[in-house]
Amino acid sequence: MHSCSRPLLCVVTALSLCGCAEMAGPRVDTSNVEAVRKALRQVADSAVPFRANGQCRFAVVHDSGRIERFSLPVNIFVNPPYEIYMQGQVGIGPGGLVFLGADQQQYWVGIRPQLNSFWWGNWSSGYDGRLPISPGIILESLGLMADADPNRIRLSAQSGRAVVTYLDANGRARKRVFLQQGTARVRRIEYLDDRGQLAASVELARYERLTEVFFVPSRITAEAYEEGKRTCWVRLSLSSIMHRRYNEQFRQRYFRRPEPYGFERVIQIGQEDLK
């Protein structure tokens, strides 16, 4: 993978929906692992389709240690539980684009002209965590967290928060979800690599109501790490957030993987090493 590609993937990933004062989250017994699992499932089941636009600000740490900062406008379309499309324009002219998307079968990320690369993969072949920040992480940040095997969940407490740890088939911790004590409101998500080291984190705050039962965080800050060092951080502020239904014509255009025309590099996740 290009030395800058992993940090630049952060461009497409941190969501921040600017909103009003935060409302209290749904109450749950955060000492009961089954109650917590069901509460998170209920949050995902209550999600509604929406759209928003806004401005993304992010920073990249290059190999030399130099920090480069960017700002770009973005549009996002979400159709729970699987479909998402997000696009931002980089620089002047139609050629500079950063976009990502996902449907029930696949996910994809494209960046040009900086990397001129297009990545895609199948959910059935494994989680897209090989991208440090990914379409899957965005969906989980918005509350669309997949249900988990109750035998692979552990519950603990840390600094006044309930911590839900998700294990893989080998019993290794792969994800930690931090909940506001006594509620199902997610405050932080940590994604761990094969060695148990922090690979990516997401901070969630200022939840805003979209419907009577569904709330989204109005600010999401994401960070990616390699070998314990932060490689990028992102804050994306969105406005004009509104509930929207998508017809089939829209879904076929935006929620289906596009052909990677015009990209120099096309990478299928799992078929080529990204490092």
The enclosing domain of 89 has a CATH number of 2.50.20.10
For the chain, what is the domain count?
1
Residue 102 maps to a domain? yes
Residue 273 maps to a domain? no
Residue 260 maps to a domain? yes
Mean pLDDT calculated for residue range 30-53: 90
Residue 274 maps to a domain? no
**Displacement of CA 206 from its chain's centroid (Å):** 17
Residue 137 maps to a domain? yes
- Which domain, by its residues, includes 81? 5-268
Residue 113 has pLDDT above 80, yes or no: no
Residue 66 maps to a domain? yes
For residue 36, give the 3-state DSSP assignment.
helix
Residue 275 maps to a domain? no
Residue 95 maps to a domain? yes
- pLDDT-derived band at 266, boundaries 50, 70, 90: very high
Mean pLDDT calculated for residue range 42-57: 89
- pLDDT-derived band at 20, boundaries 50, 70, 90: very low
Please give the pLDDT value at position 7. 42
Lowest mean pLDDT segment, chosen from 45-49, 95-99, 134-138, 165-169: 95-99
Please give the pLDDT value at position 115. 72
% the chain with pLDDT above 70: 84
